């Protein structure tokens, strides 16, 4: 227990809380709501392309295949 020997007597231990703080959680929810509302205003084909490409992180070739399109070379 080398750490205890090096720590001054009576020194407080520090613990970090890995849970997100309430402010960050609230901001994340707000951003999700704004994004969802914006996506819902798009035409279905455009929305699907964005969801597959940006949210699903699919490559352009996969996106084209799913949507029945060709990829320009």
Residues of the chain with pLDDT under 70: 1-8, 10-11, 73
Total-model pTM: 0.50
Give residue 66's Cα distance to chain centre. 23
DSSP-derived letter for residue 68 is T
Report pLDDT for 33.
94
Which one-letter DSSP state was computed for residue 11?
P
């Amino acid at each position: 227990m080398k750490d205890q020997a090096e720590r001054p007597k009576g020194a407080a231990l520090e613990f970090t809380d890995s849970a997100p703080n309430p402010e960050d959680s609230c901001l994340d929810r707000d951003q999700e709501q704004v994004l969802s509302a914006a996506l819902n205003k798009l035409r279905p084909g455009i929305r699907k392309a964005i969801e597959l490409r940006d949210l699903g992180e699919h490559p352009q070739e996969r996106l084209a295949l799913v949507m029945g399109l060709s990829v320009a070379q």
